[in-house]
Structure 1
Amino acid sequence: MNSPTGRGKGAARPYFFLSYAHTPRVNARGVDPNHWVGRLFGDLCEAILQITDAPAGDPIGFMDRSMHQGQKWAERLSWELANCRVFVPLYSPRYFKSEACGKEWHAFTRRSVYQRRPTAERATGIVPALWVSMDHYRLPRVASELQFSHDSFGADYAAEGLYALMKIDDYRSQYATAVLRLAQRIVDVADQTVIPIGQQLDFEGQPSAFEPPEPNDRVRISVYSYREPELPPHRSPSCYGQQRTDWQPFRPPSRRPLVDDAADVARSMGFQPSVHEFEDEAEALMTAERPVAPSVLLVDRWAFLDTQRSDTVRQLDRRNLSWLSVLEPWNRDDQQCRDHERMLNELGDGVLPATRAGRQKPSLREEGSTGVPGSLDEFRGEMERAVMRASTAYEQQTTSRTVGTGTRRPRLGT
């Protein structure tokens, strides 16, 4: 059977298939966010050409640049996955949330792998690469079980990932080292294994190799805010809805509830989020002797004007729960927030003294924060850190009570 690319059975097989998660554009006119992956692909192909005797014109690697759907697109992916010699997954939080990437992994691993000679590592034909650091993210089973060491790629690579090494000038030499080591590893695996050409599968019909989050990989997100009918007279209703979870502090430009963005962040980290109004969570948070899940509380400081409700938050602050992270999103573009900033800050100091004293960034409004202070992008970064703080503390709490049953986050090479 001829391939959809016009290459028949005798065609040269590419050394590697670069599997990566396509990053969506911020807007239609924005720079292609996958440009840097394309540059890495080109650098890898050049390095492999330099260290092998591959004939000119032979395909060195394959990278899906199109994102096109349809039969021809699926046939092309299937052909490349059935013929490539090495599979290179580019690890990122987005990667393990991508159904297409999970299908690519599954399709490649349907092929048999034979070792030419014994090595210390089990032959898989898979050479993982770090696009970003994955130390704080839960890897799916198929990835955590890989016996693969990246020690020779350099300490900065392991700590930062290839994307940072490419973007930061001071890491230029470390990037060159990591690319050369990765290219050599691809060539070594291709030489040390025999992976016969596989069957060209129905790509769209393949399952994902990445299992869904385990039930215990939960994070609870609660919102302390207003329903629209509860608002004080001097607060605009434009950021509020019928539920307290409808709060949209960054409106405009964002017209979706902030808790939806928070849940998206948690899911991208491998967690299974649930969303609640603070009042539904308050009793459990106030009385629980042990946590049921890591938790994040999103606080609207305008709601501190409701003295009866804010007293519950004040009592919770006194408990100083390590597995509860508190965020105070603050939109500096909101004129009402700017006009009443001093008053609202003083309210927050009175309600959350322990929380504010215990963290370096008391809110998302600090002048010293990166990017636009109080922007939605900054919130997403703070949300990642909040989830990790809560999750780490939760694991410490649970493992201290039940020795040996704690959850361990696997790392590459372990």
Structure 2
Amino acid sequence: MNDMDSRPYFFVSHSSVPISQDETQANSLLHRIYHDLLSRVIQFMVETASPPVGFIEWRDRSTMPPPSEVVQAVMSCRVLVPLYSKRYFEDRRCAAEWSLFQRRVEEVDARHSVTAPIVPAIWTPVDVAEIPEEASAIPFDPIEFGSAYAEHGLYGLASIERFRPEYLNTLDILAKRIVDIGSRVELPRGRNTFTDDVSATFSGPAGRFPLRIIISAWTSENLPEGRDHRPYGTSPLQWNPYHPNSTKSIGESAAHLVRNLGYDARLVSLDDTTFNGLLAENVPEGPGLLILDPTMLSDPDTAARVRAFDELRRPWIRVMIPMGVRGTSASDNLEHLQGHIESMLSRRSREDRLSVKEALSGIPTVEAFEAILPRLVEIASRQYLRARTTALPEPGRASSRVRLPRPALFDNGRGGEENNERP
């Protein structure tokens, strides 16, 4: 057996939560998920699997420094598989394992452009704004696995029987990605000792993402005759669709919620400059929300803009349509407005996510708006993160293995609710 055969194909990095005395490892949820994933990795591997294919530590992980066998595994594995949760990014052992593995990547990347062979999995949902700077460059978009995985993580999918198909599909995708990137990139072994300069903490979030809140609404100056002027002001940013039940403009309400979610809210109106910027934005400047007055769709210029926007792939900009107190004209009829929305936003109307459908069907109250917005922000942020990072090749696509030289450093002798088991 050669050097490459004796190394783990993947290393599962997970945070430590004490398991009660009457529970056995064989019955733990993490144990089942790991072995289900392991069996799929073995099935997708082209080469004959030689043990150990996977590595995970089952005993108490609260001790520092890590045991020698853990250091040896993380410094020799092909792929790191961190199980993201809020607890993961607060765990000293997880930070140390990430730091050890990342050192191997950085040493090679100094000589060659290398995609870090890291395949994150979600244990329990984590907001993009909470992901540390170290992890922010790793391709990560759980939505592409399906909305159930994004909303519940592996822990939720494995715990709820009705999510069994989604659970199996998620493991298939993860296994294919582990095999795909592990077959393309081979990092040389690192040093099998733990030194004091290895970071045992994550640095914290990379900083507040700017999140644009784009308002498209009438003003008191261009409002069509016969419409109630009270929800409108001299700027689209003053639009208050929930007047008189709310005293705040919709932009002000949205900005307050966005800041509480950890983002830097930036309010703009959908003028020609903003719209042309969206058309040219192939690389995202940041996630965003387009908050649209549905009665604006009767305006030919606005209708043309909205239809053109819908035809673009800008998934990091999510659309919200407040529909508060309506007038008595035929154009304010609910069915009429919803027909306009489906016509102008036909592509987005076909999305199957419940939160997206609710946002496009006309949000009736400010309370509903406040409930839906955080879910839209999460989707926009994940799509933004996915678009701005280097996407992995499609699973299963043929690719040649990149065998990297051994850096001198390695020759000189020198990742819903938290659960009660393990993340």
Q: TM-score, normalised by structure 2?
A: 0.47
Determine which structure has greater relative contact order: mean sequence separation of CA pairs < 8 Å that are 6+ residues apart, divided by chain length: 2
